[in-house]
Amino acid sequence: MKILVSLTSLIAFLLVVLAGPLYKFDVIELGTAFTGFKFGVYAGIAALVLLALQFLLRRKTVTLGSAIMAVVFSAIAIAMPLNMMNKAKSVPPIHDISTDLVNPPEFVAIAPLRADAPNPVAYDGIETAEQQRTAYPELQTLTYPQPKAELVGAVEQAVKNLGWELVNTDSNEGIVEATDTTMWFGFKDDVVIRVNDQGSERLVDIRSKSRIGGSDLGKNAERVHAFIKELDAVLAK
């Protein structure tokens, strides 16, 4: 039974942890990856049940090392998918976030890169805007006193500091576009930053949109927050 417990917990762990990299490198489809999540949770629960039975029926075969390994692997296999499910329930099921909900920045150079993406390049509309206002009321247009050219340069630097792929910079239009690739699944989410003049101030708007998926699990809002923080840090230097 010791071998069975260890093997079951290891399988559970691998089903969950490897789902992202296997999808990222085009070995499996996204639906298969999520199926792996489901069976990983089942296998993790099964491993814990088998471990409990081993303690009850064959206590002498239990070793501390194998028990700890089984618990850790099973806990990871169960916790990671459940955490994602809980996150999905705590945020709105949207994948397009913008600090300007009336006139969101438009993707230009990135638009052709999204030609085959399930999520279209156009803004998702009024329903998405309403859900964002409720969930992320703090995300609004930013104002800065710096000249437009200086702000565009700072935006570029912030993009680079965050490790995003810089796709396009149009200093005249005040547009910077970039793509952020998530580490685990390799999802590509696109970002456009717009800098406009308004009298003595500059208005900065950020939009982040996923190429795939209905809910972004709050990732795009987190990305916008991270960018604002990094831009302020660059401008403070």
* Structure tokens, 108: 């230009």
Task: Report how far residue 199's alpha carbon sits from residue 218's, in angstroms, rounded to the nearest whole number.
Answer: 34
Question: pLDDT for 85-122, tens place per residue?
Answer: 999 999 999 999 999 999 999 999 999 999 999 999 99
**pLDDT at position 197:** 94
Q: Which residue has the higher pLDDT, 158 or 237?
A: 158
Vertex 103: Cα angle to 215 and 153 (nearest 5): 90
Measure the CA–CA gap between 49 and 237, rounded to whole angstroms: 56
d(CA 43, CA 12): 5
Measured torsion, CA atoms of residues 161, 167, 168, 169, in degrees rounded to the nearest 10: 10
Rounded to an integer, the average pLDDT of 24-43 is: 96
- Mean pLDDT to the nearest integer, 209-221: 96
The predicted structure's pLDDT at residue 60: 82
Same domain, 51 and 134: no
Which of 90, 105, 122 marks a domain boundary? 90
**Rounded Cα distance, 3 and 9, in Å:** 10
DSSP notation for 43-78? HHHHHHHHHHHHHHH-GGG--HHHHHHHHHHHHHHH
Q: Residue 2: what pLDDT? A: 84
State if pTM tops 0.75.
yes
Q: Would the pLDDT of 228 be above 90?
A: yes
Q: What is the pLDDT of residue 193?
A: 98
Residue 7: pLDDT band with limits 50, 70, 90? very high
In this structure, the answer to whether residues 131 and 184 fall within a common structural domain is yes
The pLDDT value given to residue 58: 85
Provide the CB-side half-sphere exposure for 165 (13 A, CA). Answer: 11
Nearest to 123 by CA among 150, 100, 104, 99: 104
Q: Is the pLDDT of residue 1 over 90?
A: no
7 and 118, same domain (yes or no): no
Domain count, the chain: 2
Regarding whether 207 and 185 lie in a shared domain, the answer is yes
Closest by alpha carbon to 94, among 149, 46, 134, 37? 134
Q: How many CB atoms lie within 10 A of CB 64?
A: 7
pLDDT mean over 118-128: 95
**What is the model's pLDDT at position 22?**
97
Instruction: Give the residue numbers spanning the domain of 113.
Output: 96-236
Give the model's confidence band at 71: pLDDT under 50 very low, under 70 low, under 90 confident, else very high: very high
Query: According to the model, what pLDDT value does residue 50 have?
Result: 95
Q: Identify the domain boundary among 66, 90, 114.
A: 90
Distance CA 181, CA 106 (A): 20
* Residues 50, 105 share a domain: no
- 85 and 100 assigned to the same domain: no
Interval 148-196: pLDDT, tens = 999 999 999 999 999 999 999 999 999 999 999 999 999 999 999 999 9
